[in-house]
């Protein structure tokens, strides 16, 4: 009896382990990075449905509650998911919302490819300050940005959950090593298709092309995946006629009809890309699989 009482008193006097914060993310790539940092502590949730379009999505009531109850929301930012900005403004988030697009050290580029700046440079760049709406939000397609984000994710998680700070940092360090190795391997594998002109479904691949030396002759849709106008299609058709385009790529969420029309009469193979990982299983492995799948698709179509 005394032994049982002593054990009960000891347990009552011991501090309880803190629960992992309730963490929500926007897209598969971000969810994957956050999941890697949280391994062994907790599991993040994700708002975007499997197969959903990151640029255009409608939250269900259960997802709205998930957002409202989040201790932390990690998302790229309203430039990628304006629907999520509207939800954050209308519903609110219990805790902090962290826009990874503005993480310290992140490399930013404009859609026209004229600037390649770190976030700090962009904040201090007078010429770029008024052109914020032209920023390309697909930062995760440069693995160097994923490495930057891992540090920022670990930092924000540690602020919200100091008890697990060392675990978050250790996980981030391990994940950065994996992505650095992936980046080196990707550069080596893509060497045979560098400077071979390709056409893509929408303007999402600038970061990937900049990092690995790919040549994108044009995109059918703008960066927000909006339907293209006739003038844009005519301009792109002229580029196709002039350039030695070796391959064209559609996407999981975009109809292939425009590709067929643009390349009618051209003997150009058509592949498929998934820049956000919507066709992949959500989880820690998604980011590595996403990059590897892009590489494989490029090698098959553009060689």
Q: Is residue 43 part of a domain?
A: yes
Once rounded to an integer, what is the mean pLDDT over residues 245-268? 73
Position of tokens 């859609």? 111
Q: Is the pLDDT of residue 2 over 60?
A: no
Structural domain of 244: 192-302
Once rounded to an integer, what is the mean pLDDT over residues 43-72? 90
CATH number of the domain bearing residue 103: 3.40.50.1980
Q: Is residue 264 part of a domain?
A: yes
Residues 271 and 139 in one domain: no
What is the C-alpha separation between 106 and 122, in angstroms, rounded? 10
Question: What is the predicted pLDDT for the residue at 131?
Answer: 36
Identify the band that residue 112 occupies on the pLDDT scale cut at 50, 70 and 90.
low
For the chain, the domain total comes to 2
Q: Is the pLDDT of residue 260 over 50?
A: yes
Residues 216 and 230 in one domain: yes
Q: What are the CA-CA distances from residue 210 to residues 71, 103, 161, 195 (Å)?
A: 35, 20, 36, 11
Identify the band that residue 298 occupies on the pLDDT scale cut at 50, 70 and 90.
very high
Supply the mean pLDDT for the chain.
Answer: 84
Lowest-confidence region among 55-64, 81-90, 99-108, 180-189 = 55-64
Residues 197 and 169 in one domain: no
SS3 158: helix
Q: Are 285 and 32 in contact (CB under 8 A)?
A: yes
Most confident of 140-144, 250-254, 262-266: 140-144
Runs of H (alpha helix) within the chain: 2-13, 28-38, 61-68, 82-91, 119-123, 126-129, 143-160, 165-190, 206-212, 230-242, 257-262, 286-302
Once rounded to an integer, what is the mean pLDDT over residues 164-193? 98
Give, as one character, the DSSP assignment of residue 101.
G
Going by DSSP bridges, is the β-strand pair 116-118/107-109 parallel, antiparallel, or unpaired?
antiparallel
Q: Is residue 39 part of a domain?
A: yes
DSSP secondary structure letters along 245-292: --EEEEETTS-SHHHHHHTTT----EEEE-SS-TTSPPSTTHHHHHHH
What is the C-alpha separation between 142 and 144, in angstroms, rounded? 5
Question: What is the predicted pLDDT for the residue at 243?
Answer: 64
Once rounded to an integer, what is the mean pLDDT over residues 58-67? 93
pLDDT digits (tens, 9 = 90+) for 114-147: 444 555 554 444 333 333 348 999 999 999 999 9
What is the C-alpha separation between 174 and 158, in angstroms, rounded? 16
pLDDT digits (tens, 9 = 90+) for 186-231: 999 999 999 888 988 888 999 999 999 999 888 887 645 556 667 7
Question: What is the predicted pLDDT for the residue at 87?
Answer: 94
Lowest-confidence region among 96-110, 141-155, 188-202, 248-262 = 248-262
Identify the band that residue 290 occupies on the pLDDT scale cut at 50, 70 and 90.
very high
Q: Is the pLDDT of residue 261 over 80?
A: no
Most confident of 18-22, 61-65, 259-263: 61-65
Share of the chain above pLDDT 70, in %: 79
Question: What is the predicted pLDDT for the residue at 11?
Answer: 45
Q: Is residue 57 part of a domain?
A: yes
Residues 59 and 87 in one domain: yes
Residues 292 and 197 in one domain: yes
Residues 51 and 181 in one domain: yes
Residues 181 and 222 in one domain: no
- Please state the pTM of the whole predicted model: 0.85
């Amino acid at each position: 009896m005394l032994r049982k009482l002593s054990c009960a008193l000891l347990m009552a006097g011991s501090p309880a382990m803190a629960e992992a914060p309730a963490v929500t993310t926007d897209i598969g790539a971000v969810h994957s990075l956050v999941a890697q940092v949280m391994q062994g502590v907790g599991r993040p949730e994700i708002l975007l449905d499997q197969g959903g379009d990151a640029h255009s999505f409608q939250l269900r009531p259960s997802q709205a509650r998930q957002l409202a109850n989040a201790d932390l929301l990690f998302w790229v930012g309203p430039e990628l998911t304006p629907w999520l900005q509207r939800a954050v403004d209308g519903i609110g988030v219990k805790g902090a919302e962290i826009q990874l697009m503005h993480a310290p050290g992140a490399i930013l580029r404009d859609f026209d490819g004229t600037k390649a700046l770190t976030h700090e440079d962009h904040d201090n760049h007078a010429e770029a300050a008024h052109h914020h709406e032209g920023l390309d939000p697909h930062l995760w397609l440069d693995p160097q940005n994923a490495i930057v984000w891992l540090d920022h994710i670990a930092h924000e998680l540690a602020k919200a959950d100091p008890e697990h700070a060392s675990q978050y940092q250790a996980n981030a360090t391990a994940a950065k090593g994996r992505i650095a190795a992936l980046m080196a391997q990707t550069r080596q594998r893509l060497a045979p298709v560098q400077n071979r002109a390709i056409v893509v479904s929408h303007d999402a691949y600038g970061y990937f092309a900049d990092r690995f030396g790919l040549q994108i002759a044009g995109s059918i849709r703008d960066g927000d995946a909006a339907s293209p106008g006739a003038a844009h299609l005519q301009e792109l058709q002229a580029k196709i006629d002039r350039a030695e385009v070796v391959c064209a790529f559609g996407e999981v969420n975009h109809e292939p009809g425009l590709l067929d029309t643009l390349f009618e009469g051209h003997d150009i193979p058509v592949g498929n890309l998934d820049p956000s990982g919507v066709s992949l299983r959500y989880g820690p492995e998604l980011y590595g699989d996403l990059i590897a799948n892009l590489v494989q698709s490029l090698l098959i179509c553009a060689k």
